[in-house]
């Protein structure tokens, strides 16, 4: 019986959770990225090697690159996209030459994951990340003032947003804005003006266009990845439905079928993120895992709890709406078939206990994730022993 590889996301030398801390969690693999390299620029081999040495000095292995961000020009297939695709290929080759076997990326227009609160207090007193439609509408309609924003929300949300906007203090509005536009720790923050400009680039890009742009990108990079032995893992949209008027193309089984069949190369695979996919009630995660099978190259395990309006918070890893037992079982069956360990990481965790007294990267505090890792590991062993 083969266990999955336990990994841990580490944001690099500025991460408040050190590699020595990670070593104590029992995780063996590190998931990391060179966040200081601007989007689109080449990851040079010596920079990758430097990070790798640092990780290995702590007796850990750099197992997965998450992420090499895809430049907006590639997603919109405009401007310098040809140059950026070539540079992406070079980065893939350089990652391969340093012996890191998996690269995660996403194709979400403009923003990476989007939430409206980073410190939503759950019943235990711990804090979780939260997505609320009314708050998103407050940001979109009244702060960002995106053209056509109102039409993106139903009457009920619009009315609530108007009232909530009036009740929020300038500080609260500012904080909401910072949360919605929060990117990746250590990367450049954007302003509402930047955001409007970035959104504008998608005015004439619909779902089909975006799918074409992704297909083009994949048809260019998948053969390179295959040739140098790297597996690509596309991360789903988070949340998995259209927001801010943008198209979404990595949210459902239909989307994955399109991506995997359109560029039918074994290097073209998926980062199976249960937290992202689970925020849509249309997704049956265990069935999806089964269907994607060995094209799952990397796994993020996390849970979420939705309400009737589609708002959701990040629940305990084994709690929430995702049936983690069924999902884990399916993943373990794939894993046994595959014969080599598939890396997984506890994705996000609550801010709890001592985490609450520290400044941590949202979703990435030590204790909350450690709890998730420990629970998932127990679940994994229990299932494996009973298979
Ligand atoms: C959030 C993460 C994402 C993910 C990227 C992959 O916590 O799961 O930011 O790293 O979307 O490209």
- pLDDT for the residue numbered 203: 95
67 and 153: one domain? no
Q: Which residues of the chain carry a pLDDT beneath 70?
A: none
60 and 86: one domain? yes
202 part of a folded domain: no
358 and 307: one domain? yes
Q: How far apart, in whole angstroms, are the C-alpha atoms of residue 9 and residue 370?
A: 12
- pLDDT for the residue numbered 1: 86
pTM comes to: 0.98
The per-residue DSSP string of 140-185 comes to IIIII--TT-GGGS-HHHHHHHHHHHHHS-HHHHHHHHHHHT--ST
Nearest alpha carbon, ligand 1 atom 3: 113
Contact 111, 75 (CB under 8 A): no
174 and 298: one domain? no
**Distance from the CA of 133 to the center of ligand 1, in angstroms?**
21
Range of the domain at 148: 127-195
147 and 77: one domain? no
How many other C-beta atoms can be found within 10 angstroms of the C-beta atom of residue 100? 21
- pLDDT for the residue numbered 188: 77
Number of domains the chain contains: 2
13 part of a folded domain: yes
Per DSSP, the three-state class of 309 is coil
Nearest CA among 102, 67, 68, 104 for reference residue 88: 68
122 part of a folded domain: no
Q: Which of 144, 167, 195 is the last residue of a domain?
A: 195
- pLDDT for the residue numbered 214: 98
376 part of a folded domain: yes
Nearest CA among 379, 383, 340 for reference residue 2: 340
Q: Which of 172, 195, 218 is the last residue of a domain?
A: 195
- pLDDT for the residue numbered 190: 87
153 part of a folded domain: yes
Atom of ligand 1 nearest to the CA of 67: 12
Nearest alpha carbon, ligand 1 atom 12: 105
Atom of ligand 1 nearest to the CA of 184: 9
Pocket (CB within 6 angstroms of ligand 1): 66-67, 104-106, 112-113, 184, 235, 300, 347-348, 363
Instruction: Provide the annotated active-site residues.
Output: 235, 273, 300, 347-348, 364
159 and 306: one domain? no
Contact 228, 240 (CB under 8 A): no
**Distance from the CA of 19 to the center of ligand 1, in angstroms?**
20
- pLDDT for the residue numbered 210: 98
Contact 130, 116 (CB under 8 A): yes
40 part of a folded domain: yes
- pLDDT for the residue numbered 185: 79
Nearest alpha carbon, ligand 1 atom 1: 113
200 part of a folded domain: no
109 and 131: one domain? no
252 and 375: one domain? yes
- pLDDT for the residue numbered 189: 81
175 and 222: one domain? no
333 part of a folded domain: yes
* CATH code of the domain in which 69 resides: 3.20.20.150
Instruction: Name the average pLDDT for the chain.
Output: 97
Contact 278, 285 (CB under 8 A): yes
Among 113, 272, 346, which is best to mutate for testing ligand 1, by the most ligand atoms less than 8 A from CB?
113
């Amino acid at each position: 019986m083969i266990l999955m590889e336990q990994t841990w996301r580490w944001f690099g030398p500025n991460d408040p959770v050190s590699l020595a801390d990670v070593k104590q969690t029992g995780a063996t693999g590190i998931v990391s990225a060179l966040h200081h390299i601007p989007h689109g620029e080449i990851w040079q081999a010596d920079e990758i090697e430097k990070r790798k040495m640092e990780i290995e000095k702590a007796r850990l292995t750099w197992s997965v690159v998450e992420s090499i961000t895809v430049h907006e020009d590639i997603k919109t297939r405009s401007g310098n996209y040809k140059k950026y695709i070539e540079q992406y290929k070079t980065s893939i080759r350089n990652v391969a030459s340093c012996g890191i076997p998996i690269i995660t990326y996403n194709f979400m227009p403009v923003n990476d994951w989007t939430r409206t609160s980073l410190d939503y207090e759950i019943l235990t007193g711990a804090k979780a990340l939260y997505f609320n439609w009314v708050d998103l509408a407050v940001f979109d309609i009244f702060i960002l003032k995106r053209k056509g924003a109102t039409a993106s929300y139903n009457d009920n949300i619009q009315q609530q947003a108007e009232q909530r906007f009036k009740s929020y203090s300038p500080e609260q509005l500012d904080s909401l804005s910072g949360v919605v536009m929060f990117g990746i720790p250590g990367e450049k923050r954007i302003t509402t003006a930047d955001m409007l400009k970035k959104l504008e680039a998608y005015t004439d890009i619909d779902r089909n266009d975006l799918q074409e742009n992704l297909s083009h990108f994949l048809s260019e990079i998948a053969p390179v990845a295959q040739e140098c032995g790297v597996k690509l893992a596309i991360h789903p949209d988070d949340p998995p439905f259209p927001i801010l008027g943008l198209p979404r193309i990595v949210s459902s089984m239909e989307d994955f079928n399109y991506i995997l069949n359109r560029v039918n190369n074994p290097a073209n695979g998926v980062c199976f993120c249960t937290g992202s996919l689970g925020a849509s009630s249309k997704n049956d995660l265990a069935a999806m895992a089964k269907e994607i099978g060995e094209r799952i190259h990397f796994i993020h395990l996390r849970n979420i709890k939705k309400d009737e309006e589609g708002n959701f918070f990040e629940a305990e890893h084994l709690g929430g709406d995702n049936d983690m037992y069924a999902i884990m079982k399916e993943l373990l069956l794939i894993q046994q078939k595959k014969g080599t360990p598939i890396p997984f990481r506890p994705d996000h965790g609550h801010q709890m206990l001592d985490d609450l007294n520290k400044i941590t990267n949202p979703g990435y505090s030590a204790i909350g994730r450690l709890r998730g890792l420990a629970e998932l590991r127990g679940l994994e062993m229990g299932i494996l022993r009973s298979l």
